[in-house]
Amino acid sequence: MSGIKDITQLLASMEPTLNPQAFVFCTSQSLTLEQAAALNPLGLFMEAEGITLILTREGAQAAGLDTSSDFRQITLTVHSSLEAVGLTAAIATELAQAGISANVVAAYYHDHIFIPAADAQRALTALTQLQQRSAQA
């Protein structure tokens, strides 16, 4: 099943949803892929410098990993195509105009934006307003 490619349709139907859980980003040069997967990460990416993990703070601390500050996850619940053009740019622009940092993870079905926890509600409001404006256009 392929996702939506049309940027107008994506923005009008993105339905951003805020996950109540906070997450942290951390990295390790010593964990194997199997050890990292055993930590039950929300996200995992292999980089030249090490494995990047998105974990709960509790999970990261239990594993003895250094952590970033807390982030909240906003999921765009529309099924976006991996070949869609402009969605990440539109989201990043909207959040940048509000002075909000955004770390975007595109997965097969949805896009996930990790926002500093203190800015999560403002980010959700900004993205919801973008959706509403797009739906009216």
What per-residue confidence (pLDDT) applies to 1? 66
CATH class of 7-136: alpha beta
Measure the CA–CA gap between 63 and 22, rounded to whole angstroms: 17
What per-residue confidence (pLDDT) applies to 24? 97
Mind listing the pLDDT tens digit of every residue in the chain (137 residues)?
689 999 999 999 999 999 999 999 999 999 999 999 999 999 999 999 999 999 999 999 999 999 999 999 999 999 999 899 999 999 999 999 999 999 999 999 999 999 999 999 999 999 999 999 999 97
Annotated domain spans of the chain: 7-136
DSSP 31-84: --HHHHHHT--SEEEEETTEEEEEE-HHHHHHTT------EEEEEE-S-B-TT-
